Structure 1
């Protein structure tokens, strides 16, 4: 495997995030290849915020969709992570806090706030987990609103599979992305190459679909955010095997 193969990375997250991740990786000196497994599409939704005292947002794209779906900017908003929080602030939301973690951290922060009104969770169609159900089970009134969906791609370019066979690392941002990449590899008869590939995942949950298949080399970021994911890619101390 050449040095260029070792620095080549397949970015499997959905668009428009894949393009941003490729640009960020290029700044770190990687040869990032866009292998987006889906495209996120916003729904046209007019949000009903009556009775809502807190909004929970679990992805950067969800933050962008929320900004389009309502002109309200004064309600408190809690984001799952710092990138999502930054996107909300850029859109003009005035009261933004970040759980700086994953869905469990978000749930814990909402419970600490003990909101008196209803919690609105804005989400995608196939987003993992059900935050509103978790909150309702703990006595906090909550509901969810679907603002976007991921449309899977039908196939990936041959250059993606050639890079995988040559030793490119596969970057995994979500469990759904891992599932979609595996499905695409199956369709392209590239399962053996996938099982032998180096996989770097943002979290244990994101890695699970590929881990259960028996991938040979798997590394998981110590925190569920992209900075830690890139550190894992670079074999920095913020990563774990």
Structure 2
């Protein structure tokens, strides 16, 4: 049974672990990041905004109720299935679901809302390409940061105990921040032996770029930047 390290934060980590067990893998939870809510004033929403964009379910989960109430009647453009589900659960009345690709979502919004203003619910740590693509197309983007992503630290002893001193077969990486943390962790002298043959399964080329070049032959990139594609890649490679 392949041992798979799940590095994403909760609540997603436990959900991923269940899927892995159901398909014959042995998941090991080691969140390398955590998300925390940021204070947000609902009054920051501009009156001219005609829609809402969301590229992360965390942006909705951490948004205060007052902010959601202010935005709920606006059309909500979600990057993919999970984000759309989170938006509907939070109270958005009209949610469109994208393919899971942020740049494709930006293109779709730009085609419909050029010269208009939108609210972008997002994290403090994020890929800037989505906003830049919209702004280039003439869409006014008002970013509202609802959460921050922080790195989680572990001692060598904690990780060795968690892994039972046994090597890891595969690591799932969902963000560039987690990939960078994973790289540092795998280089520690006390832990190097546990990751010498590990394969890294990542959501995108941007995340892969955060890993050491020496691990290139062990990096696998999902066909689409979503978990379904990532887990399919893991299954096909096992």
Shared fold per TM-score greater than 0.5: yes
Which residues in structure 2 correspond to 1:5-154 (within 5 Å)? 6=2, 8-47=3-42, 48-49=44-45, 50-66=47-63, 68=65, 69-71=67-69, 72-114=71-113, 117-154=116-153
* CA spacing shift, 1:212–1:143, aligned 2, 3 Å: farther
Across the two proteins, how many residue pairs are aligned to each other?
A: 232
Structure 2 distance, partners of 1:213, 1:119, is 42
What per-residue deviation string (whole Å, max 9, x for no partner) do you get for residues 116-173 of structure 1? 5311111111112243333222211112111101121111632477468524210111
Q: Mean alpha-carbon deviation: is it higher for 190-199 or for 166-175?
A: 190-199
Residue 233 in structure 1 maps to residue 234 in structure 2: yes
Gaps of 5+ in 2: none
* CA spacing shift, 1:139–1:81, aligned 2, 3 Å: same
* CA spacing shift, 1:56–1:163, aligned 2, 3 Å: farther
SS at match of 1:216: helix
What per-residue deviation string (whole Å, max 9, x for no partner) do you get for residues 57-109 of structure 1? 11111122236332131101111111101111122211111221222111111
SS at match of 1:44: coil
SS at match of 1:70: helix
Structure 2 distance, partners of 1:108, 1:160, is 47
Which residues in structure 2 correspond to 1:166-181 (within 5 Å)? 166-181=167-182
* CA spacing shift, 1:188–1:16, aligned 2, 3 Å: farther
SS at match of 1:86: helix
SS at match of 1:139: coil
Gaps of 5+ in 1: 237-241
Deviation at 1:183, TM superposition (A): 2.2
TM-score under structure 2 length normalisation: 0.86
SS at match of 2:74: coil
Structure 1 distance, partners of 2:127, 2:53, is 15
CA RMSD of aligned residues (A): 2.5
SS at match of 2:105: helix
Deviation at 1:110, TM superposition (A): 0.9
Q: Mean alpha-carbon deviation: is it higher for 52-61 or for 216-225?
A: 216-225
TM-score under structure 1 length normalisation: 0.85
* CA spacing shift, 1:114–1:169, aligned 2, 3 Å: same
SS at match of 1:219: strand
Structure 1 distance, partners of 2:101, 2:193, is 31
Structure 2 distance, partners of 1:42, 1:184, is 26
Does structure 2 conserve the Cα–Cα contact (< 8 Å) formed by 1:16 and 1:40?
Answer: no
* CA spacing shift, 1:160–1:143, aligned 2, 3 Å: farther
